[in-house]
Amino acid sequence: MNIDPKYIQELAEKVLRCKRVIETESWDALAFVFDIADGHMANSGFLYVADKIVPASAGIEEDLMALDNKILEFREAIFEACGHKFVQLLIQMNSAGKIHIDFEFDNPKRWNMGPANYRAMREQLRPVFN
Which positions ≥6 away from 11 have C-beta within 8 Å? 67, 70, 71, 74, 91, 99, 101
The predicted structure's pLDDT at residue 74: 96
pLDDT 10s digits, 19-75: 999 999 899 999 999 999 888 999 999 999 999 999 999 999 999 899 999 999 999
pLDDT 10s digits, 72-90: 999 999 999 999 999 999 9
The predicted structure's pLDDT at residue 3: 81
Angle (nearest 5°) at CA 123 between 56 and 32: 35
Q: What is the reported pTM?
A: 0.94
The predicted structure's pLDDT at residue 38: 80
pLDDT 10s digits, 90-117: 999 999 999 999 999 999 999 999 999 9
Sheet architecture: strand order including 52-56: 52-56, 40-49, 29-37, 88-94, 99-104
Rg (CA), the chain: 14
- pLDDT of residue 4 exceeding 90, the answer is no
Domains and CATH numbers, the chain: 6-124 (3.30.500.20)
The predicted structure's pLDDT at residue 57: 95
